[in-house]
Every structure is written in C-alpha cells, then in structure tokens.
Amino acid sequence: MNRFAIGAAALVIAGALPALADRMPALEGTEVYFVTPEDGATVSNPVTLVFGLRGMGVAPAGIEHPHTGHHHLLINVDPDEIDFDLPIPADDRHVHFGGGQTEVTLDLPEGTHTLLLLLGDEFHVPHDPPVMSEPITITVE
C-alpha cells in the first residue's frame, strides 16, 4: 500500500469510529426507577415489576425519536460489568422491553436478587450519560 492509500484508509477509520461511539444524549435530570416492588421487599411468584421514567419518553426499539428509549431489566448484573458503548446483551439477565412495555410479570428463582433498570435507544445502546436506576434488592420466596 502506498503512503496515500494508508492515509486514506486511516481517515476512513477515524471517520467511522466516532459514528459508532455516538450515543443518544439523555436529557439532564432523567430518572428511571422501580415503581414497584420497593427496595428490600419480599415477594412471591409471579412478581410484577413496574418501571417508572421521568424526563424522557418510552418508544419501542427500532423507532428513532429524540429523547426516548425502552426499558431493560438487568437481573443480578454488576453495573461495573456494563459496557455503555455497546448494545445491551439479550439473555437471562438482560431482558429487553422493545415493545415499549413499562411493566412485566415474571417468575424469578427463589432467593435474593438485585434488579436494575437501564434505558436503551432504538439500537439497544444506553444513552449518554446512561439512564440507569438505583439497584433494588428483592427476596423471592
């Protein structure tokens, strides 16, 4: 590769990276939280969780609309292990509500669980800064 080609390739890469890293801005003061259950609650299955969002709106995944997102329930996920530049994984511990749902009723294994809510944009990527709830800990009997 000649010098010009290397320079052009570097420009293309440099131009592409910021676009990949661009996250939808969150409005200042936006809050996501559990309406229910309360932190420390003891509950039995099926458990109903209600998600609250203040300051931004809920939109289904795939819908591009400023200042919106959809909920993700993170079950026993350490916030330190989240890479906020990447789409939120979809597995047993990361549940997407891409239809714009604001509550769920589900069965959880017996025991103590830490739950978090994290808003994601139309591509399931957290906002900048991330809109994440305080963790709550519940005991399922």
Q: What is the binding site for Cu ion (CB under 5 A)?
A: 96, 120, 124
Residue number, 33 or 123, with CB nearest to Cu ion: 123
Six token digits for residue 103: 């509550």
Residue number, 70 or 140, with CB nearest to Cu ion: 70
Whole-number minimum distance, CB 135 to Cu ion, in Å?
19
Q: How far is CA 125 from the centre of its chain?
A: 7
Whole-number minimum distance, CB 95 to Cu ion, in Å?
9
Whole-number minimum distance, CB 72 to Cu ion, in Å?
5
The kind and range of the H/E element at 3 are: helix 3-21
Residue number, 117 or 138, with CB nearest to Cu ion: 117
Closest listed residue to residue 74, CA positions, set 11, 132, 10: 132
Distance CA 93, CA 98 (A): 15
The 10 Å Cβ neighbour count of residue 124 is 20
Whole-number minimum distance, CB 15 to Cu ion, in Å?
27
Residue number, 37 or 120, with CB nearest to Cu ion: 120
